[in-house]
Chains A and B, each alone.
Chain A
Amino acid sequence: QVTLKESGPVLVKPTETLTLTCTVSGFSLSNARMGVSWIRQPPGKALEWLAHIFSNDEKSYSTSLKSRLTISKDTSKSQVVLTMTNMDPVDTATYYCARILGQWDYEVYILYYYMDVWGKGTTVTVSS
């Protein structure tokens, strides 16, 4: 059974750095065409993709947040870590991690991706 679990602080102060950990089980972070995404959702608002990392260590970041984000993985610990610097109250949100799978559609020869399993999320409040 594939599971992902987010962990990190509940409360951070403005200007501090947030560190979140996603611990996965039921699959390996070294599996081909697999990865982990981080997504957040401010209260009452839409989902926002933040970053992802694949088994080959390929990384990608949201254009608007790229300067503040770092994603990394520790395959031996089955963990993916996201850091976000210079936190602000607008960063108050529920933060989710999700497994990304890549799959070929050989009819049209496209490699497509989707997030098949999500963690329950962790709520982070930014306040002094």
Chain B
Amino acid sequence: SSELTQDPAVSVALGQTVRITCQGDSLRSYYASWYQQKPGQAPVLVIYGKNNRPSGIPDRFSGSSSGNTASLTITGAQAEDEADYYCNSRDSSGNLGVFGTGTKVTVL
């Protein structure tokens, strides 16, 4: 079982704001990175570090962290943001490489 827990699914109205959370003890010490995956496609990095976006990722995507919870916020969700989102960080021993359980985002 994953050491990073995410809500299985969330929905958001077009143009509204949605926050996706990732909980785990390791997040008290380490940053999470966030990945978007659309059906039949490879994951794409959307947020890394404290709150950094790779080139080409819209600024409606942002990241934050508090205590044992990391969050990905989509401000003004668009239809093309409908996808699965995964967080990634270290495990409780500090080893790299654990993914969250994933959150399916539906844009209504």
Contact = CB atoms under 8 A, between A and B. Distances in A.
Tell whether A pairs with B.
yes
Interface of A: 37, 39, 46-49, 51-52, 60, 62-63, 96, 98, 100, 103, 105, 107, 110, 112-121
Q: How large is the interface on B (under 10, 10 to 19, 20 to 34, 35 or more residues)?
A: 20 to 34
Contacts of A63: 91
Interface in B1-44: 2, 30-31, 33, 35, 37, 42-44
Q: Which of B43, B45, B96 has the most CB of A within 10 A?
A: B96
Interface of B: 2, 30-31, 33, 35, 37, 42-45, 48-50, 54, 86, 88, 91, 95-102
Contacts of B37: 47
B50 A37 contact: no
Contacts, number: 68
Nearest to B101: A46
B2 A37 contact: no
A104 B88 CA distance: 17
Contacts of A100: 96
Given A96-B43, A114-B33, A121-B42, A62 B97 contact: yes
